[in-house]
Amino acid sequence: MPTPVDDTSLQRDETPAERYDRNWIEVLQELRVLQTGTQILTGFLLALAFQPAFADLTDGQRVFYLVLIVLSGISAVIALAPVALHRIVFREGMKGAIVGYGHVALIVALVIVSALLIGVVGFVFDVVLGDAASWIASSLLALAVVVLWVVIPLVMRARRKGNGS
């Protein structure tokens, strides 16, 4: 297994403008990854409504389905908000603000997408196996999201700061 690189030894010789440009490119790459996954989930959800078995859903399952559709739409809007901001303030010398806005939008979108992922898994397990299986699958996925998306990154950040880096 490769040893992690100590980023402090790789300090970049760049101006603030160059740093903002690099950070904006990184935000855009992360937006692309997030948006692709969200689009796949949205397509899956939208296709469900046109399946013959959709008529067999309970009222509660239909409401939950619509909540998932709304979460999907909200996540797409939030994930695209930094791009819209960039277009509107293009060439206004606001790259630092755009990068900061993009950072916050990505975090919020990740939270919403995590709820969407957990919800879709719960929904499918509910329809296929029932309520108990839905809660188990959703809980396990929620645990995986918290550990992989929050706990491990925070532990890594704390270790880096603890090493005086």
Q: What is the pLDDT of residues 15-58, one digit of tens each?
A: 888 888 888 889 888 888 888 888 888 898 999 889 998 999 99
**What are 115-144's pLDDT values in tens digits?**
999 999 999 999 999 999 999 999 999 999
CA distance 118 to 89: 35
Give the Å distances, CA to CA, from 39 to 35, 80, 133, 158: 6, 12, 26, 33
Read out DSSP for 114-140?
A: HHHHHHHHHHHHHHHT-HHHHHHHHHH
pLDDT at 9 over 80: no
Domains in the chain: how many in total? 1
> 136 lies in a domain?
yes
Nearest one of 126, 136, 108, 137 to 63, comparing CA atoms: 126
Give the pLDDT confidence score for residue 165 in this predicted structure: 56
Measured CA to CA, the distance from residue 93 to residue 21 in angstroms comes to 11
Query: Is residue 10 a part of any domain in this protein?
Result: no
Q: How many CA atoms lie within 13 Å of 16's alpha carbon, on the beta-carbon side?
A: 5
Task: State which residues form the domain around 59.
Answer: 15-162
**Contact criterion met (CB below 8 Å) for 20 and 99:** yes
Residue 5 included in any domain? no
Give a yes or no: residue 1 inside a domain. Answer: no
Which residues neighbour 68 within 8 Å (Cβ) at sequence distance 6 or greater?
45, 116, 119, 120, 123
For 22-164, strand residue ranges (E) read none
